[in-house]
């Protein structure tokens, strides 16, 4: 018996996955990005359809320049916590810019999006409180529920009535009720019915936190996310998000009109006990935000591309979620089927994410694709063609599909 | 009406047996993870069905203490009594 025995199960499963498809699906290396939409994988030029880089801003010339200038002027890191030596004028500037962008008064910037959820949710919902989570919540939200001390109740995915029922059961119990939803669910691309969720919040007096990780820069007339798109921003108490998707850098944030957000800074362990973002990342993030605001056409191009890709996959007879969003998940029945198709796609020059249960809802494996504003129509059509070739070749070889 | 642990346990077993993958010989002392081969997600989803049936919410932190079907039934009965 050793301390590593608990990992034998995953070791065995990994061997099975490798035996099914030849590759370790969790060890794909992008040797070099060629642009926001293509990179070298296994020595071949590969189309990238699984990077969450929705607006292509990881390669923004303005952000690259800002990072280079800043790193020369300020060095490569802060070497400290936000509440000690890790807050520079740039951190404050970014917080101001993000708060202004959302039209909110306060903002906290975290070192990652994961830590923003982990920190805000575990800190806001205290021992006497209740945390109500969508059943398909991201791991960062579930982890927050374990770091905090609140009682945790799951409601059915994207089901405002079920949330209402569960809040009603808590009528008369002391303690605040914090409801957490996501704008776009990362695995399936499902969009939250935000207006209905906001109505439940108004009727029950709960506190509402929305994770806009996959909807920031993507949904809403100015890219503020799903709450803006649904016209219910005033009902949202806290918006959490990340810079590592539409802005192409790394880091997380929470914005709010509650002035008490500044007190959260002194209670929030994932904010206090970690090093702050390096200055060049902050500068690149500010530049990427400026790019996003200066180019609203990126959002319309992204949605056009998402619609083109979604329709193309459906025409091939593949099952995807119904809603068109930049996350397009192809739903498969079995793991061998998913492994075979994912491997074939990569061999043919298309990278997508392989998502396996129990990290996926309903025990279905998914080939999770993310579309970008910078994909050209030709690249979208080529990706659909690769899907078609992969499915057909697997059928011909009588492999599972 | 107030259900007993036995009532709730019987209800849980009948719900479980509706799933053809669940072994036919389960009893109140069957262990949910080991004997039924449920992973964490399957346990949470199954508990959601029972919650609807009995109009009760089982907080996730309470689930961590539950090993057998009877444990789950006792937990639900105590939640319904408000303890």
If you classify domain A5-55+296-396 with CATH, what class do you get?
A: alpha beta
Report CB contact under 8 Å: A156, B48. Answer: yes
Nearest CA to A197 among A160, A229, A165? A160
pLDDT score for A377:
97
Report CB contact under 8 Å: A152, B48. Answer: no
The span from the CA of B35 to the CA of A64, in Å, is 55
The span from the CA of A300 to the CA of A380, in Å, is 15
**End-to-end distance of chain B based on CA atoms, in angstroms?**
17
The span from the CA of A200 to the CA of A191, in Å, is 17
For residue A295, what are its two tokens?
């180019």
Task: List the single residue in B39, B45, B60 with the smallest CB-CB distance to A152.
Answer: B60
H helices of A216-358, in order, are: 226-230, 261-264, 269-272, 279-294, 297-315, 335-347
The span from the CA of A188 to the CA of B33, in Å, is 27
* Delimiting residues of CATH 3.40.640.10 domain(s) in chain A: 61-294
What distance lies between CA A227 and its chain's CA centroid? 16
pLDDT score for A400:
59
Chain B residues lying within 8 Å of A154, measured CB to CB: 44, 48, 60
- State the smallest CA–CA distance between residue B12 and chain A in angstroms: 19
Helix (H) or strand (E) holding A144: helix A139-147
Instruction: Name the pairing type of β-strands A30-33 and A38-41.
Output: antiparallel
Chain A residues lying within 8 Å of B62, measured CB to CB: 151
Peptide bond into A148 cis (omega under 30): no
- pLDDT tens for A344-367 read 999 999 999 999 987 787 789 999
- pLDDT in 10s for each residue of chain A, 401 residues: 899 999 999 999 999 999 988 899 999 999 999 999 999 999 999 999 999 999 999 999 999 999 999 999 999 999 999 999 999 999 999 999 999 999 999 999 999 999 999 999 999 999 999 999 999 999 999 999 999 999 999 999 999 999 999 999 999 999 999 999 999 999 889 999 999 999 999 999 999 999 999 999 999 999 999 999 999 999 999 999 999 999 999 999 999 999 999 999 999 999 999 999 999 999 999 999 999 999 999 999 999 999 999 999 999 999 998 889 999 999 999 999 999 999 999 999 999 999 998 778 778 999 999 999 999 999 999 999 999 999 999 888 866 55
- Do the Cβ atoms of B45 and A135 come closer than 8 Å? yes
- State the smallest CA–CA distance between residue B51 and chain A in angstroms: 10
For residue A67, what are its two tokens?
């990072």
- State the smallest CA–CA distance between residue B39 and chain A in angstroms: 8
Q: In chain B, where are the structural domains located?
A: 5-80
For residue A205, what are its two tokens?
């007096």
- pLDDT tens for A58-84 read 999 999 999 999 999 999 999 999 999
If you classify domain B5-80 with CATH, what class do you get?
A: mainly alpha
Scan residues 33-52 of B and list those with Cβ closer than 8 Å to A.
39-42, 44-45, 48
CA distances to A95, A296, B60 from B23, rounded to whole Å, are 55, 56, 25
Total-model pTM: 0.94
Report CB contact under 8 Å: B57, A170. Answer: yes
Choosing among 3.40.640.10, 2.30.22.10, 3.40.50.720, 3.40.50.300, the CATH entry for A61-294 is 3.40.640.10
Residues 6+ apart with CB under 8 A from A51: A36, A58, A370, A372
* Delimiting residues of CATH 3.90.1150.10 domain(s) in chain A: 5-55+296-396
- pLDDT in 10s for each residue of chain B, 83 residues: 578 999 999 999 999 998 888 889 999 999 988 888 888 888 898 899 999 889 999 999 888 889 999 999 999 999 988 75
């Amino acid at each position: 018996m050793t301390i590593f025995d608990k990992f034998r199960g995953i070791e065995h499963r990994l061997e099975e996955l490798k035996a099914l498809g030849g590759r370790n699906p969790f060890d794909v290396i992008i040797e070099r990005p060629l642009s926001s939409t293509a990179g070298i994988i296994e020595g071949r030029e590969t189309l990238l359809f699984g990077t969450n880089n929705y607006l292509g801003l990881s390669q923004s010339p303005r952000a690259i320049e800002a990072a280079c200038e800043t790193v020369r002027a300020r060095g490569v890191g802060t070497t400290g916590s936000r509440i000690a030596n890790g807050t520079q004028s740039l951190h404050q500037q970014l917080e101001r810019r993000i708060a202004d962008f959302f039209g909110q008064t306060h903002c906290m910037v975290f070192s990652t999006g994961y830590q923003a959820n982990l920190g805000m949710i575990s800190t806001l919902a205290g021992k006497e409180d209740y945390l109500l989570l969508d059943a398909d919540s991201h791991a960062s939200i579930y982890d927050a529920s374990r770091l905090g001390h609140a009682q945790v109740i799951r409601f059915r995915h994207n089901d405002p009535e079920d949330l209402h029922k569960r809040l009603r059961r808590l009528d008369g119990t002391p303690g605040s009720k914090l409801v957490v939803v996501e704008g776009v669910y990362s695995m399936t691309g499902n969009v939250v019915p935000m207006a209905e969720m906001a109505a439940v919040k108004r009727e029950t007096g709960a506190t509402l936190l929305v994770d806009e990780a996959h909807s920031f820069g993507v949904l809403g007339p100015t890219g503020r996310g799903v709450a803006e798109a649904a016209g219910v921003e005033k009902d949202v108490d806290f918006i959490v998000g990340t810079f590592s998707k539409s802005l192409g850098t790394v880091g997380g944030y929470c914005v709010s009109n509650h002035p008490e957000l500044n007190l959260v800074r002194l209670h929030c362990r994932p904010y206090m006990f970690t090093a702050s973002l390096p200055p060049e990342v902050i500068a690149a993030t500010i530049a990427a935000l400026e790019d996003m605001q200066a180019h609203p056409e990126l959002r319309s191009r992204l949605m056009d591309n998402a619609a083109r890709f979604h329709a193309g996959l459906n025409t091939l007879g593949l099952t995807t979620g119904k809603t068109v969003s930049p996350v397009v998940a192809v739903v498969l029945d079995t793991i061998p089927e998913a492994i075979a198709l994912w491997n074939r796609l990569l061999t043919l020059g298309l990278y997508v994410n392989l998502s396996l249960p129990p990290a996926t809802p309903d025990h279905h494996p998914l080939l999770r694709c993310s579309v970008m504003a910078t994909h050209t129509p030709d690249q979208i059509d080529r990706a659909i063609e690769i899907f078609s070739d992969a499915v057909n070749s697997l059928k011909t070889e009588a492999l599972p599909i | 009406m107030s259900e007993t642990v036995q009532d709730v346990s019987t209800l849980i077993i009948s719900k479980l047996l509706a799933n053809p993958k669940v072994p036919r010989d389960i009893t109140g002392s069957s262990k949910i993870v080991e004997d039924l081969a449920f992973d964490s997600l399957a346990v949470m989803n199954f508990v959601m069905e029972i919650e609807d049936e009995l109009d009760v919410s089982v907080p996730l932190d309470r689930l961590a203490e539950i090993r057998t079907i009877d444990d789950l039934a006792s937990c639900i009965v105590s939640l319904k009594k408000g303890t």
